[in-house]
A and B are shown apart, each in its own frame.
Chain A
Amino acid sequence: AQSVSQHNHHVILSEAASLELGCNYSYGGTVNLFWYVQYPGQHLQLLLKYFSGDPLVKGIKGFEAEFIKSKFSFNLRKPSVQWSDTAEYFCAVILDTGRRALTFGSGTRLQVQP
């Protein structure tokens, strides 16, 4: 069963537009949540993470994400995108089932046009 859903498969924005990428997970227990980014030709890099505490987490390069437990969501946001944000973005989750491996969503390809 898919634990992580990313509904936007491909998003095209102009520079300076605001970004919100959706991520939902299907698990009622405790979760650790992550966003990873993969720039063209590069390896996966951690963008931000949520373990506990303040549900609004800030990451690198001006990205932030909000954990809304009631909606099982962890959406990624950026107020103003740049051409250099063109990349694939993956939401991932670790469940508190004892398994300590990340489960990834299928990814969202973001294309920012100059």
Chain B
Amino acid sequence: DTGVSQDPRHKITKRGQNVTFRCDPISEHNRLYWYRQTLGQGPEFLTYFQNEAQLEKSRLLSDRFSAERPKGSFSTLEIQRTEQGDSAMYLCASSFSRGKSGANVLTFGAGSRLTVL
């Protein structure tokens, strides 16, 4: 048990459908991150939250993607009008960090694998 839970673990959908992934971080962690990983590549940063505030979004996060962390606890990542290029593993990570320069160690979940047909 990694402490970071993601649901669902696998999702198969048809092109054009909307999908939503959920992440439950380690309870005392104030930061939550979303990454995307495709086969043979390292994880790519999508966005991150400190508490409920979304502090940064990558250029990879097109307007079809939206992430929320409404109460500073769990987070959702929604992809609208999915495309085949969205097929990937979506990883969530969390950490606890004080301030901008504090040590920041991310703990990752098992990921949600998306297949768009």
Q: Which of A23-56 contact B (CB under 8 A)?
A: 32, 34, 36, 42-46, 49, 51
Closest residue of chain B to A52, judged by CB? B103
Main secondary structure of the interface of B (DSSP, over half): loop
* Cα-based distance from A44 to B41 in the complex (angstroms): 13
Q: Note all chain B residues with C-beta closer than 8 A to A43.
A: 2, 91, 108-111
Q: How many A-B residue pairs have CB under 8 A?
A: 56
Residues of B within 8 A of A (CB): 2, 31, 33, 40-45, 48, 55-56, 91, 93, 97, 100-101, 103-111
Known: A94-B104, A101-B56. 17 other contacts (CB 8 A): A43-B108, A43-B109, A43-B111, A44-B93, A45-B108, A46-B105, A49-B105, A90-B42, A92-B42, A96-B101, A100-B104, A101-B45, A102-B43, A105-B42, A106-B41, A106-B42, A107-B40
